[in-house]
A and B are shown apart, each in its own frame.
Chain A
Amino acid sequence: MQIRRITSVIALLILISAAGACAKKKPPVARPVAPPPATAATPTRPPAPPQPVAEPQPVPAEPVPAEDTLASKDIDEINRNSPFQPVFFGYDQAEVDEPGQQALNVNAELMKKYGTWIVTIEGHCDERGTAEYNLALGERRALAARNYLVALGIPADRLRTVSYGKEFPFDPGHDESAWSKNRRAHFVVTSK
């Protein structure tokens, strides 16, 4: 009883002081203002269009699958035009840099949206490493991408890795333009 009364008094005091504050100055946050009309320069409104006459269309109870084109595609289609972003690496490097982290953030959102997808992260290398060492370097690149995604909350059992070293270059060229494309962690949907 005693406590309740004290609480009421405190609440009242707070209300009064708040009212006082309002009276003294404007709130620090600007109030939302209606945006100017898009046709601000036109002084007169055009005449209203004729009222359409139409029968109401039935709305399907379930969401239209066509709304989400990715969900309806088969795995081959998804991978051919992959929504996942590859992570590119520096020469001899297996660390995920800033652009790589941004790519992985996008990929993490996709994996959260499509919660049943299982993804294989392929590690690839350019031809400037030896064939054998590149098997390990590609593995490190795939594992680095996987570990980053796990840190973002993607379950590890949805992320597989494989290293192809320099066996499957994306660009067969022999210059930096080709090499930079071939130093990557590449995402492939393996089941959905």
Chain B
Amino acid sequence: MTHIRPAAVAVFTACATLLLAAQAAPPPQQPTEVTFTISSATPGLPPKYAVPDFVALTADAETQAAARTIGEVLWADLKFEQEFYMIARDTYRTIPPAASLDQVPLDRWRELGADAVVVGTVRKTGSGVVVQVRLVEAASGRAALSKEYSGSIANPRLYAHTISDEIHLTQRAGLKGVARTKIAFTSDRDGERMKGPVVDRGISNIYMADYDGAHPRRVTVTKSLDITPAWSPDGRAIAYTSYRSGYQDIIVSYIYEGRMAKPANGNADRQNYLPVFSPDGSKIAFTSNRDGNPEIYVMNRDGSGIRRLTTNAAIDVTPTWSPTGNQIGFTSERSGTPQIYIMNVDGSGVRRITTEWSDRATWSPAPYNEIAYAARSGGGFDVKIWDFATQSIRQITNGIGSNESPAFAPNGRHLAFTSTRAGKEQIFTISRKGDDLRQVTREGMNRYPNWSQSPQ
């Protein structure tokens, strides 16, 4: 049996300390059944999955609500990776719930055309809840996955996310789902203001939410601007640009430990912004004006060993690391307009890859080798992707609103970005193919999404 433990952790900020519920993900349990892959009855098509509501084994309202939530969220999580054909849930409301995990009405599920059914139970215990789940092959009744989890009932979505990642991992040859990942972003949703020279100015701080926008929480609390968050690869820290000292400087907040660092050691004449961690987490690339002009620098995570990578009179800004950590993509206006360039991590071998106004390069994780960026189109921007393998560009958004600040999911199959298509800027996600658009934020104005690179 594994545990989902609630833990109180402190999020340290300059002005306040917040309490967040940490979400310690349960380690995978030893399977009790031999894992096999459920395939479609029709060769060449993805298998059809059904996810009915989980069955509440205790009659209280909390357990029943949790059982419903787990079924709904698990269905959405599985749909997100587009590996399975997810049968619409309203088509099987009439199928009676399984009396127990051993008594699934297989004939009814076969009648519906399902190849796989995910069934589960939720039982309240003295200390929390026990969730059991089985992935059942409709044709044979065999379980391809059988798991039991226990922990708090406070966030039932986490059980769904954990089960979804487990199904992708085992049914899709090690595919890393993103159901337990988080998106950090900037928001003004709390309506706080700082004193401005003419009028008070609305401020934005750093927030985080589940990948689907659920469970939003504030990460920094300061009466100033905190923007451009970037996760450390282990998901334990967020680096960002803060104006709390009156100028831009980089802060690294260790969000579960209640401490922070200012590795770039800025001052009024040495401002630092747009930090981004190297893939191994040991270094931070950033932009600084310390030599009188916006240039790209790299430093060790503790601030030592600062190296300047660009020496151009033009603007050089917005770095991103290649998955190997050997190259850096960035924006430069050395040709007259901002364009995406790549260079080796020592600053050599500079090469331009775009031919139109572009910014915010974000390099995909392996196995893809792509750079997403925002390109000026019409009155706004659209997200495009440069593919190194084919040396070609494909357009991800198509002129609805202005679309900016792309950030890859850790498995490279999705992007988060900012769009004005729903009014004020909001965070959306979209697949790397340009389909499955989903709105992640709805409250206030939200910018600078950054997708955590590991489950949490």
Contacts and interface: CB of A to CB of B under 8 A. Distances in A.
Interface of A: 76, 79-80, 82, 92, 120, 122, 128-133, 135-137, 139-140, 143, 160-164, 167-168, 170, 186, 188, 190
A79 B404 contact: no
B289 A143 contact: yes
- Describe A's contact surface by its main secondary structure: mixed
Interface in B286-322: 287, 289, 292-294, 315-318
B374 interface: yes
A92 B335 CA distance: 13
B197 A131 contact: no
Nearest to A167: B225
A143 B447 contact: no
B215 interface: no
Would you list the 9 A-B pairs with minimal beta carbon distance, nearest first?
A: A136-B317, A136-B294, A79-B197, A130-B359, A133-B359, A188-B197, A136-B315, A132-B318, A160-B268
Contact of A168 (B196, B228, B241): B196
Given A131-B360, A131-B418, A143-B289, 5 more contacts: A131-B404, A131-B448, A135-B317, A162-B243, A162-B246
A140 B315 contact: yes
B271 A162 contact: yes
B160 to A, nearest CB: 33
A162 B224 CA distance: 13
B293 A120 contact: no
Contacts of A128: 376, 379-380
27 contacts: A76-B195, A79-B198, A130-B359, A130-B405, A131-B227, A131-B404, A131-B448, A132-B318, A132-B331, A133-B318, A133-B331, A135-B287, A136-B287, A136-B315, A136-B331, A137-B315, A140-B294, A143-B289, A160-B246, A160-B247, A161-B271, A162-B246, A163-B248, A164-B225, A167-B204, A167-B227, A168-B201
A132 B359 CA distance: 7
B274 interface: yes
A128 B246 CA distance: 25
Nearest to B381: A130
A82 B198 CA distance: 9
B337 A92 contact: yes
**Interface centre among B227, B243, B294, B376, by most A CB within 10 Å?**
B294
**Interface centre among A92, A122, A136, A143, by most B CB within 10 Å?**
A136
B273 interface: yes
A80 B197 contact: yes
B338 interface: yes
Contacts, number: 93
B268 A130 contact: no
Nearest to B246: A162
B274 A82 contact: no
A188 B247 CA distance: 13
Given A135-B317, A137-B315, A80 B198 contact: yes
Nearest to A130: B359
Interface in B429-451: 447-448
A135 B289 CA distance: 11
Contacts of B294: 136, 139-140
A82 B197 contact: yes
Interface in B142-200: 195-198
A74 B195 CA distance: 15
A130 B247 contact: no
A133 B317 contact: yes
A124 B380 CA distance: 18
A188 B274 CA distance: 24
A132 B404 CA distance: 9
A190 B247 CA distance: 12
A135 B337 contact: no
Contacts of B337: 92
A172 B243 CA distance: 22
Given A143-B293, A162-B271, A163-B248, A131 B315 contact: no
Contact of A135 (B247, B248, B316): B248
Interface in B248-299: 248, 268, 271, 273-274, 287, 289, 292-294
B248 A130 contact: no
Contacts of A190: 246
A161 B268 CA distance: 7
Contacts of A135: 228, 241, 248, 273-274, 287, 317
Nearest to A186: B197
B360 A130 contact: yes
B315 to A, nearest CB: 5
Nearest to B405: A131
A127 B247 CA distance: 21
Contact of B447 (A131, A139, A161): A131
**Interface centre among A143, A167, A190, by most B CB within 10 Å?**
A167
Contacts of A186: 197
A139 B266 CA distance: 15
B359 to A, nearest CB: 4
A188 B195 CA distance: 12
Contacts of B374: 130
Contacts of A164: 225, 243
B339 to A, nearest CB: 11
A139 B405 contact: no
A170 B196 CA distance: 11
B227 to A, nearest CB: 7
B274 A132 contact: yes
A164 B383 CA distance: 23
Interface string B399-438: 0000011000000000000100000000000000000000
A128 B374 CA distance: 12
A148 B211 CA distance: 47
Given A120-B246, A139-B294, A168-B201, A132 B315 contact: no
Contacts of B241: 135
Contacts of B404: 130-131
